Amino acid sequence: MRNLRLVQENFGSINDIQLKESEIPSPKNNEVLIEVFSIGVSFADVLAYEGNYQDKPDLPFVAGLEVSGIIIGKGKNINSLDIGDEVIALTKWGGFSEYVTVDIKYVIKKSTKIPHSIGSTTIINYGTSIYTIEDRLACEENCRVMILGASGGIGLACTELLKIKNAEIVAVASSQDKLNECEKYGATDLILREPDKSLKQILKENNVQKVDYIIDTIGGQETIDSLSFLKWEGSLVPMGFASGIISKIPANLILLKNISIVGVFWGPFARGNNSFDLHSISKINDYYDKGLLKIANPRKIKLENYLDAFKAIKERKSIGKLCLTTEKYK
**pLDDT digit of tens for each residue in the chain (330 aa)?**
789 999 999 988 999 999 999 999 999 999 999 999 999 998 889 989 998 887 788 889 999 999 999 999 999 999 989 999 999 999 989 999 999 999 998 899 999 999 999 999 988 888 889 989 988 898 889 999 999 999 988 899 999 999 999 999 999 999 999 999 999 999 999 999 998 999 999 999 999 999 999 999 999 999 999 999 999 999 999 998 888 788 899 899 899 999 999 998 877 666 566 666 677 778 888 888 888 887 878 899 999 999 999 999 888 777 768 999 998 876
How many angstroms separate the first and last alpha carbons of the chain? 19
Within this chain, do residues 144 and 251 fall inside the same structural domain, yes or no?
yes
Q: Is this structure's pTM higher than 0.85?
A: no
- Return the CA Rg of the chain: 20
Q: What integer pLDDT is reported at residue 49 of this predicted model?
A: 93
In a domain, 286, yes or no: no
In a domain, 317, yes or no: yes
Within this chain, do residues 50 and 75 fall inside the same structural domain, yes or no?
yes
Residue ending a domain, among 237, 261, 285, is: 261
Within this chain, do residues 143 and 252 fall inside the same structural domain, yes or no?
yes
Within this chain, do residues 150 and 225 fall inside the same structural domain, yes or no?
yes
Within this chain, do residues 43 and 96 fall inside the same structural domain, yes or no?
yes
DSSP notation for 53-67: SSSPPPSSEE---EE
Q: What integer pLDDT is reported at residue 330 of this predicted model?
A: 66
| Sequence-separated (6 or more) residues with CB below 8 Å from residue 243 | 218, 219, 220, 222
Within this chain, do residues 303 and 320 fall inside the same structural domain, yes or no?
yes
Within this chain, do residues 50 and 92 fall inside the same structural domain, yes or no?
yes
Tell me the CATH number at 45. 3.90.180.10
CA nearest neighbour of 126 among 319, 314, 294, 309: 294
Cβ atoms 203, 184 nearer than 8 A: no
Print burial letters for 26-57: b (CB count within 10 Å at least 16), e (below 16). Answer: ebeeebbbbbbbbbbbbbbbbbbbbeebeeeb
Q: How would you classify residue 102: left for phi > 0, otherwise alpha for psi between -120 and 50, otherwise beta?
A: beta
Within this chain, do residues 254 and 151 fall inside the same structural domain, yes or no?
yes
Q: What integer pLDDT is reported at residue 269 of this predicted model?
A: 63
In a domain, 271, yes or no: no
Cβ atoms 237, 215 nearer than 8 A: yes
> Cα–Cα distance between 56 and 205 in angstroms, integer?
41
DSSP 148: E
CA distances from residue 245 to 85, 111, 120, 174, 225 in whole angstroms, order as listed: 42, 38, 28, 17, 14
Task: Work out how many domains the chain is built from and give that number.
Answer: 2
> Cα–Cα distance between 260 and 184 in angstroms, integer?
30
In a domain, 283, yes or no: no
* Maximum separation of any 2 CA atoms in the chain, in Å: 62
Q: What integer pLDDT is reported at residue 315 of this predicted model?
A: 84
Within this chain, do residues 158 and 253 fall inside the same structural domain, yes or no?
yes
In a domain, 160, yes or no: yes
Within this chain, do residues 161 and 49 fall inside the same structural domain, yes or no?
no
Domain that holds residue 251: 128-261
Within this chain, do residues 183 and 74 fall inside the same structural domain, yes or no?
no
> Cα–Cα distance between 50 and 130 in angstroms, integer?
29
